[in-house]
Amino acid sequence: MPTSAPPSGEARPRSVKADVLAGFLVFLIALPLSLGIAMASGFPPISGIITAVVGGMVVSFLGSARLTIKGPAAGLIVIAYGAVQELGGGDLTLGYRRALAVGFVAAVIQVVLALMKAGALGDMFPSSVVHGMLAAIGVIIVGKQVHVVMGVTPESGETLELLAQVPSSLMHAEPEIFLIGGISLLILLGMPMLPWERVKKFPAPLVVLLVSIPLALVFDLSHAHHYTLWGIDHEIGPRFLVSLPARITDAVVFPDFSVITSGASLKYVVMFALVGSIESLLSVKAVDSLDPAHHESNLNKDLFATGIGNMLAALLGGLPMISEIVRSKANIDSGARSHWANFSHGAFLLLFVAGLPFVLTKIPLAALGAMLVYTGLRLGSPTEFVKTYRIGSEQLLVFVTTFVVTLATDLLLGVGAGIVIKILIHIKNGASPRSLFKPTLDIETDTEGMRIRVRGSAIFTNYLGLRKQLDVAREKGLPVVLDFEHADLVDHTVMEKIEHLVNEGRRIEIAKSATERKKLSAHPLSAHLKSR
């Protein structure tokens, strides 16, 4: 005999309890990361906490994706730091306030895009371009933060110049600071390799804090002093610790809109709006695929909520926010069931900063730098190149193009170059210019389902037309059979998007082709062509 479901009055408290617990565990991860991301962005450390609090306690109720965690992200570090440096002209305080103005205008654009129902544009961007961009961001983060781990301020320069200065920084490293940073990095790298599952589930950033803060106390970093090691004099002190305002209200800083119409400001507005929106939308899609309930989020509502959150964060002195994938996955793994987990993580951050600010000022910058180096290494790992190559050599070409151009110029040009290369590859593989932006679909519908025959090409630039018909089938409750028999080209992006829809619970089947089709690699989601 089946057991009866518990009354709703009993189920809800259990759900809220699970969400509060998940929110607390995410808070433990978000606290150091929010501080470190803000520091690396050229913003005051407290600005990262402001963003996470707004992302949790405000955005949760604006229609955001229910299991995503909103807050500052490593993917926007490069843009934020560039805006502070360029707009301030050497004055970091002025650059910070002008970057806030840029963030506010970019947030307005996000809201407008959401109202225009442009959230689906996140489905268009090919993964090879996005991963190439993120890999470049990872290398840039490592280039900047590895010197922080060693307690050295490098000469200013581009990413490759900063990486070239690593041997010099090693020779001039502050021993005690390097010890803290090195141990922190070893913890982050080593914990995932441990054989004990229970230990691996413990948040590594929290372990870093539990080790690095006592070391900072042992080395008396709170007071400026000298010490001699191997005949060399070293000076350390509070400059190697997190600095916070005396009161949380003192952290509120208003934007400076004086140069918002300048070319430099508009460039960063576009980058914040474009990259931030793409990253956030892709993160939401990824989190939906991890959701045990296979709940499909409304991308337009989430983009709207993120835009409103970014407007408020900018007015309070915070960083731009996105839906953050690592914290969101930790949220799901911790048993989160609703938006109350995101709210709880923001509430815990606010309570901690308001009630125990003195603890934050004991955190060594080297420990935060180690967390960011670890994040950068994961983003820019050589395994990303290998994984992309296995999907197809043409995907690797797009990935490397985006990666190299981003490192050599900026994110906007890098993404643009990757997209152009991918379009040229599609044309070479048989996609006609006429079919680039509009798919040719033959649709048959009956009471048993919908059959969609694709002619011409099915590629990332025309995917939204196919997605529209898939959404129509979902609204009617019909299963779908996709027939690519007569398609000249089906690219990896389309195959990947369809797999995501299936993982979210959509009833979609790809019909087996009666004739042989040429796959560009052995990967199950490889692009494939009509045999010639």
What are the structural domains of the chain? Answer: 12-378 (no CATH), 433-530 (3.30.750.24)
pLDDT digits (tens, 9 = 90+) for 82-94: 999 999 988 999 9
- Better-predicted residue by pLDDT, 190 or 230: 190
pLDDT digits (tens, 9 = 90+) for 202-246: 889 999 999 999 999 999 999 999 988 888 888 999 999 998 887
In angstroms, the CA 289 to CA 293 distance is 9
Residue 4: the pLDDT is 37
Q: How far is CA 342 from CA 65, 221, 330, 345, in A?
A: 10, 34, 11, 5
Contacts of 438 (CB under 8 A, 6+ apart): 462, 465
Residue with tokens 């991860």: 29
> Token pair of 248, please?
């949380």
Share of the chain above pLDDT 70, in %: 97
Give, as one character, the DSSP assignment of residue 236. Answer: E
pLDDT digits (tens, 9 = 90+) for 110-135: 999 999 988 877 777 888 998 899 89
- What are the start-end ranges of the E strands in 355-423? none
Residue 11: the pLDDT is 40
Query: In terms of C-beta distances under 8 Å and separation of at least 24 residues, what long-range contacts does 4-12 make, across chains too?
Result: none
In angstroms, the CA 344 to CA 329 distance is 16
Residue 228: the pLDDT is 86
Q: How many CB atoms lie within 10 A of CB 515?
A: 8
What pTM was computed for the model? 0.86
Closest by Cα among 503, 359, 250, 304 to 28? 359
pLDDT digits (tens, 9 = 90+) for 22-76: 999 899 889 999 999 999 999 999 999 999 999 999 998 887 788 899 999 888 9
Lowest mean pLDDT among 50-59, 139-148, 337-346, 407-416: 407-416
**pLDDT reading at 9 higher than 50:** no
Residue 210: the pLDDT is 94
Q: How far is CA 156 from CA 99, 143, 162, 164, 367, in A?
A: 20, 11, 7, 12, 22
